[in-house]
Structure 1
Amino acid sequence: MTVDRPVAVTGFGVVTPIGIGRTSFAEGLRSGACGVAPITLFDASAYRSQVAAEVSGDVIAAARESSLASGITVSRRYGRAAQFATAAVAEALHHAGLHAEDLGDSETGLALGGSTAGTLEAEAVMLEVDDGEGFWREVSNLQLLLAPVGSTADILAAGMGLGGPVTTISTACSSATNAIGQAMRWIRSGRCTRVIAGGADSLTRLTHAGFNSLSLVDRERPLPFDARRDGMVIGEGAAFFVLEDEARARARGAQLHGRVLGYGAIAEAHHLVQPRGDGDGAARAMGLALADAGVETDRVDYINAHGTATPHNDAAEGRGIVSVLGRRSQAVPVSSTKSQVGHLLGASGAVELAACVVAMNEGFLPPTAGWAERDPEIPLEDFVAGGARPAQVEHCLSNSFAFGGNDASLCLGRV
């Protein structure tokens, strides 16, 4: 694709298990904090794993300043995922120097990645219905309107008064990465001059039970790329970016925090829950992202890996990185933010891209927290072990490799 319109990041906002807001998130990354703790949102005593990475603290209170500055209402009447999303969008707009009143033209769009939306709240409603009672006599359909996967985008679009395109992408763990890639393409093509892009998901009984049934969860904490790894730990949260046509952004005096340079997405068509063992799908997604960006492999300074801490995924991703980078794969640092925030499902790609923006702008590499024991099946050398590390990152990749072989990668560049 010809890059006619460079795409700049002019603002971003985050809600994560290690910090609400950019500053707290950056501090959590730098310190190697891990947000995994016993589940409090529901009774998890019957499950193999009883831990998750929940967002703690008052999201509404934390977002108050950004909410007032951006004109975005963050309300307790929304479901948990929508609260995360509106808080992150409010912070992103505030960071970008924008207000909801600036977004009503047909050239501003919204691209959201997610998978759970209001599922947690729908579960609670259904569990309140006693056995033998007529469901529709007891439950108003209004109580379930927050459940559909597109409802979070509907809430955001209405809150911002958007007049441009709005889409929800739900490709499991690559949802937000694909949404950001779609946003980049809208701007490049001239369809939009500005897109609010990212992802949001909350912890639910459904997702926790599902991953437990597959025996893909760790009972304690995730250990990506470590020989002792025993599965993922589910997390929750949100991250959103204000992406703009760089020329338009500069014209309005916006500060630039990075450029989204390239996007690659492929389908493995291999297995419902396991990646190709040779890493071919991961390699193709990364290769396409670099080609789209016009960035040679010797210019990649860092990779924020998908790194779920499951046995098959980490090994396959390592082989894919070697396939793309060759001998240089032994010198390029690779870390997994999931070691700190857990697996945020549809929102994971957005939060991990936010970690890349933080790394570029604050001059450090986020660690793979807890890594200690090398696995001979993973052919990589540097996992940023032992804590965050000072570094200057000019170009990096952010990977998201989902169930069903929905693999996606983004290439980010420093301004």
Structure 2
Amino acid sequence: MSKRVVVTGVGAITPLANTAYETWEKIKNGESGVAPITKIDMTEYNVKVAAEAKGFAAKDYMDFKEARRMARFTQFAVAASKMAMEDASVEVGKDVEAERVGVWIGSGIGGLDEFEEQHKKFLNKGPKRVSPFIIPMFIPDMASGRVSIELGAKAMNNCSVTACASGANSIGDAFRVVQKGDADMMITGGAEAAITEMTLAGFANMTALSTNPDPATASRPFDKDRDGFVIAEGSGILILEELEHAKARGAKIYGEIVGYGATGDAHHITTPAPNGEGGRRAMIAALNDGSISPDDVNYINAHGTSTHYNDLYETRAIKDVFGKHAYQLAVSSTKSMTGHLLGASGALEAIFSLLAIKDSMIPPTANYKTPDEELDLDYVPNVSREKNVDIVLSNSLGFGGHNATLVFKKIT
């Protein structure tokens, strides 16, 4: 018999704040973390803005010597995981057996920042000057590995690398572990720190990034004048726990994860399948997995990247899945405020989905000014909305044709 799985803790490092709750308060108020890029000299780039994690100091969350041996994305994951465990009021070895706690944290790119830095040393000073820690610094699984070491979690330790669906896939895969009974608790989510010279050059040259220099309007999902996504960095971590285990220790519960759907487009390396066919199947699979009727969904936290095809095809897929109910749904993209955290985006948006349930508050799509004739759903323009929220669906879609949908439900 399948176990019921609930969320008992959340933690985050984001462009808006260095906690999940502070980030959420700013999201509800429509505040943005997008600003001019400070980490890189952008003189030769046509992209000028990003959503950097501001004021983050690894030494505030972990041993400084060990932090220097971690890439930035791993530091984010460790910090957010520690905050999530504290939020869940749980300690490995005390409140839960170490062998019953696992880690599944995804990253789309991993430590490319460290790879770039060490490659410059290799070219300029020779191979002997390359750090002996470079390999465990840049491989994407090291966020999961380091969190396991830092927190003492000894059950399944894994990492999903599915581009911008990495965080959502990791949560869904961790959900299956607890649901099956292979662990009582999973520390899961995503982490990314890919605001680097090479990443910006690559995304810019494929014309995926917004070239709008105005931070106030650069990320504008579903708007007719959208011109690309705004890259961001950070981490979102959730504590998934078997329901009876959570009840036995008196844990607070944000909500229940009831459905997970994952599909492949088999279409193109970057462009989504026509009309969001793969995303449509992921949504249907997630709803079926949770025995949820489409008409019972109140809110969709959309992938909503602010690119032409994503916003168009995701809208069409939603209309295909939900029919007439699509026009009663609230659909918003919090990437309008956080930017696109790539492999961490689905995890952060899962947190927002749960907090929407908890606070009966639907976050807005900021910067929405000019309606697009082809995009005619309720995108919750610019102002958050008080509304009872029982069921939320969260979409994440990645390069390579990866589609992941999560369904969260108010606990009953």
Normalised-by-shorter TM-score class:
over 0.9
- Identify the residue that residue 346 of structure 2 maps to in structure 1: 349
- Identify the residue that residue 117 of structure 1 maps to in structure 2: 110
Alpha-carbon offset, residue 392 of structure 1: 1.2
- Identify the residue that residue 80 of structure 1 maps to in structure 2: 72
Q: Distance in 2 between matches of 1:11 and 1:240?
A: 8
- One-letter amino acid matched to 2:4: P
Q: Distance in 1 between matches of 2:170 and 2:189?
A: 7
Q: Distance in 2 between matches of 1:104 and 1:126?
A: 41
The equivalent position to 2:143 in structure 1, one of 131, 147, 152, is 152
Q: Distance in 1 between matches of 2:400 and 2:122?
A: 34
Counterparts of 1:325-344 in structure 2, within 5 Å, are 325-344=322-341
**Maintained 8 Å contact 2:164/2:397:** yes
The equivalent position to 2:274 in structure 1, one of 277, 285, 292, is 277
**Maintained 8 Å contact 1:116/1:204:** no
What's the C-alpha RMSD, in Å, of the aligned pairs?
1.9
- One-letter amino acid matched to 1:95: D
Q: Distance in 1 between matches of 2:106 and 2:308?
A: 26
1:141-161 Cα shifts (integer Å, max 9, x gaps):
324430111122111111112
- Identify the residue that residue 89 of structure 1 maps to in structure 2: 81
Say if 2:174 is the partner of 1:183. Answer: yes
1:221-280 Cα shifts (integer Å, max 9, x gaps):
111000000000100010111101101110111111111110000001011100122221
**Maintained 8 Å contact 2:33/2:339:** yes
- Which shifted more, 402-411 or 36-45? 36-45
The equivalent position to 2:392 in structure 1, one of 382, 396, 403, is 396
Shift >6 Å, 4+ stretches: 71-74
Say if 2:39 is the partner of 1:41. Answer: yes
- One-letter amino acid matched to 1:381: L
Q: Distance in 2 between matches of 1:240 and 1:142?
A: 25
| 5+ long unaligned stretches in structure 2 | 213-217
1:126-168 Cα shifts (integer Å, max 9, x gaps):
224454x43x122133244301111221111111122111001
Alpha-carbon offset, residue 118 of structure 1: 2.0
The equivalent position to 2:203 in structure 1, one of 189, 207, 211, is 211
Q: Distance in 2 between matches of 1:183 and 1:216?
A: 30
State TM-score, norm by structure 1: 0.93
**Maintained 8 Å contact 2:109/2:163:** no
- One-letter amino acid matched to 2:99: S
- Identify the residue that residue 296 of structure 1 maps to in structure 2: 293
1:350-399 Cα shifts (integer Å, max 9, x gaps):
00111111111122111100011111222x32101021111111001000
Counterparts of 1:217-236 in structure 2, within 5 Å, are 217-220=209-212, 221-236=218-233
- Identify the residue that residue 247 of structure 1 maps to in structure 2: 244
- Identify the residue that residue 129 of structure 2 maps to in structure 1: 138
Secondary structure of residue in 1 paired with 2:41:
coil
Alpha-carbon offset, residue 346 of structure 1: 0.5
- Which shifted more, 240-249 or 154-163? 154-163
Secondary structure of residue in 2 paired with 1:106:
helix
**Maintained 8 Å contact 1:201/1:346:** yes
Q: Distance in 2 between matches of 1:15 and 1:386?
A: 23
Say if 2:315 is the partner of 1:324. Answer: no
1:41-76 Cα shifts (integer Å, max 9, x gaps):
222222221211000013447x65xx7xxx999845
Count residues in correspondence.
404
- Identify the residue that residue 100 of structure 2 maps to in structure 1: 107
Q: Distance in 2 between matches of 1:193 and 1:401?
A: 28
Say if 2:303 is the partner of 1:311. Answer: no
Distance 1:123 1:402, change over 3 A: same
Say if 2:153 is the partner of 1:162. Answer: yes
- Identify the residue that residue 215 of structure 2 maps to in structure 1: none
Secondary structure of residue in 1 paired with 2:31:
coil
- Identify the residue that residue 98 of structure 1 maps to in structure 2: 90
**Maintained 8 Å contact 1:73/1:86:** no
Alpha-carbon offset, residue 191 of structure 1: 1.0
Q: Distance in 2 between matches of 1:110 and 1:321?
A: 32
- Identify the residue that residue 21 of structure 2 maps to in structure 1: 23
- One-letter amino acid matched to 2:147: L
Q: Distance in 1 between matches of 2:97 and 2:248?
A: 19
Q: Distance in 1 between matches of 2:262 and 2:111?
A: 27
**Maintained 8 Å contact 2:69/2:137:** no
**Maintained 8 Å contact 1:177/1:350:** yes
Alpha-carbon offset, residue 301 of structure 1: 0.1
Secondary structure of residue in 2 paired with 1:9:
strand
Q: Distance in 2 between matches of 1:24 and 1:73?
A: 28
- Identify the residue that residue 185 of structure 2 maps to in structure 1: 194
Distance 1:374 1:35, change over 3 A: same
Secondary structure of residue in 2 paired with 1:57:
coil
Q: Distance in 2 between matches of 1:124 and 1:180?
A: 31
Q: Distance in 2 between matches of 1:353 and 1:206?
A: 28
Q: Distance in 1 between matches of 2:201 and 2:44?
A: 10
Alpha-carbon offset, residue 108 of structure 1: 1.2
**Maintained 8 Å contact 1:339/1:369:** yes
Q: Distance in 1 between matches of 2:34 and 2:162?
A: 24
State TM-score, norm by structure 2: 0.94
Q: Distance in 2 between matches of 1:45 and 1:359?
A: 40
Q: Distance in 2 between matches of 1:381 and 1:189?
A: 37
Alpha-carbon offset, residue 81 of structure 1: 0.8
**Maintained 8 Å contact 2:121/2:129:** no
